[in-house]
Amino acid sequence: MTGSDIAVARPGEAGPPPADGSDGGQADQHGDGAGRAGRLTSLLRRPALGALLGAIAVFVVFTITDSTPQHLWLTQTGFEAWAQQAAFFGIMAVPVGLLMIGGEFDLSTGGMTGFCAIIMALLVGNEHWNAWAAVAVTFAFGALIGAVNGLVVTRSGLPSFIVTLATYFVFRGLSVGGVLKVNHGSTNIGLTGTHHPGLKSAKDVFGGSFAHSTGLPAGYQTAILWFVGVTVAAVWLLGRTRFGNWVFAVGGDADAARKVGVPVRRTKVLLFVGTSSAAALVGVISFLQSNTAVSEQGVGYEFYYIIAAVVGGCLLTGGHGSAIGAALGACIIGMALQGVIYSGWDSSWDFTFLGAILFLAVAVNTLTHRRAMRARR
């Protein structure tokens, strides 16, 4: 048996079909009760179910409590507000979710997004590079850091949260001390001069807007399209490719996966590269939206990404989760942060609200996963 032969029952699937090719006979043989139990088991095994129900509940809560004069929550203005926030969290939460399914963590993501924005600002704003060349260098830098993190984790055997926490502190120091040194004592880097080749076209792709209308003159940010694109790509990768099988296998039992020929190290390194590349994307979008970068950017956001992935059904133990669930988790966070404002509540309670959501998500995901596994036996 080789790695390409490994059969992994992905969450949401019914598992490999019987050897004789029959698939529906059991329900007929054991009656409607067995059929309903099978459908319930299949439903419970979908990690995105809890996130979908949670997203609907949060949306309904803020629809009811919306205290804006024109009830903006249900208008394009309200949708754009939370979708924009969800996009920034989701672009990172989806690859972070894939990494968690593969059994690893990356705590450097928040610092990486800010540092990548600083790289863009230094190259375009201070050094007057062509914006597209700066974008290419930023993505190359993100991929390189991901590869380094992945190689250190897989070669040394050190826990990934320790390795990436060290990476986070390195970039946190560079974002402050390094920027102060090269930016004449200021932690805010903006555009200098008037000639910035490639900036307009790069801004149209990464930091522009679309679908302008009378109801929303500023339109929707292109970051939302990037969020959708990253989610679709991750869903396809996880559900339709051999690499997706490998991700579930290495997260479920790395030793067993290695014995059947799954390239465990390569799979994990590629997952780290994907996470850091997504951080580069967020950094590029952030700079091109605002034409500026600050040292404090992205600090603490790594926890939002992990919360979104966990709310979306990704187990902290690895081997279980979904990309669409992580995307829904990001939508919940985006709605929660904006909904508090639209409802006129004290935003000081944001963290309490998110903490309660995280606790409920972990409890519900763990209970449903255990019940589904018992029912499968």
Query: Is residue 82 pLDDT above 80, yes or no?
Result: yes
**CATH number, residue 290:** 1.10.3470
The three-state secondary structure class of 210 is strand
Query: Is residue 6 pLDDT above 70, yes or no?
Result: no
Question: What's the domain range around 219?
Answer: 68-375
> How many residues comprise the chain?
377
- The pairs formed by 353-362 with CB atoms below 8 angstroms and a separation of 24 or more are 354/304, 354/307, 357/54, 357/307, 357/311, 357/332, 358/307, 358/310, 358/311, 360/54, 361/50, 361/51, 361/54, 361/310, 361/311, 361/313, 361/329, 362/310, 362/316
Single out the residue of 294, 291, 282 nearest to residue 179, CA to CA: 294
> Residue 53 belongs to what H/E stretch?
helix 48-65
Q: Is residue 31 part of a domain?
A: no
Query: Is residue 28 pLDDT above 60, yes or no?
Result: no
Sign of CA dihedral 347, 49, 365, 103: negative
Question: According to the per-residue pLDDT averaged within each range, which of 157-166, 340-349, 367-376 is highest?
Answer: 157-166
Which stretch of 5-19, 266-280, 299-313, 338-352 has the lowest confidence by average pLDDT? Answer: 5-19
pLDDT band at 24 (very low <50, low <70, confident <90, very high): very low
User: How much is the pLDDT for 114?
Assistant: 92
Looking at residues 289-300, what average pLDDT do you find? 86
CA angle 131, 177, 276 (to 5 degrees): 50
Query: Is residue 29 pLDDT above 90, yes or no?
Result: no
Query: Is residue 10 pLDDT above 60, yes or no?
Result: no
Half-sphere exposure of residue 76: CA atoms within 13 angstroms, side-chain side:
12
Q: Is residue 24 part of a domain?
A: no
DSSP letter (8 states) at residue 13: S
pLDDT band at 320 (very low <50, low <70, confident <90, very high): confident
Looking at residues 80-95, what average pLDDT do you find? 94
Question: Taking the model in full, what pTM does it have?
Answer: 0.86
Tokens of 294: 């600050």
Looking at residues 114-133, what average pLDDT do you find? 92
Q: Is residue 235 part of a domain?
A: yes
User: How much is the pLDDT for 20?
Assistant: 43
Q: Is residue 48 part of a domain?
A: no
Which stretch of 34-38, 189-193, 286-290 has the lowest confidence by average pLDDT? Answer: 34-38
User: How much is the pLDDT for 43?
Assistant: 64
Q: Please give the mean pLDDT across all residues of the chain.
A: 85
Q: Is residue 370 part of a domain?
A: yes
Between residues 323 and 315, the one the model is more confident about: 323
Q: Is residue 340 part of a domain?
A: yes
User: How much is the pLDDT for 159?
Assistant: 93
Looking at residues 280-292, what average pLDDT do you find? 94
225-283, pLDDT tens digit by residue?
999 999 999 999 999 999 999 999 999 999 999 999 999 999 999 999 999 999 999 99
Q: Is residue 323 part of a domain?
A: yes
Total number of domains constituting the chain: 1
Q: Which residue has the tokens 């479920």?
A: 252
Query: Is residue 42 pLDDT above 90, yes or no?
Result: no
C-alpha span between 124 and 191 (Å, rounded): 7
Q: Is residue 189 part of a domain?
A: yes
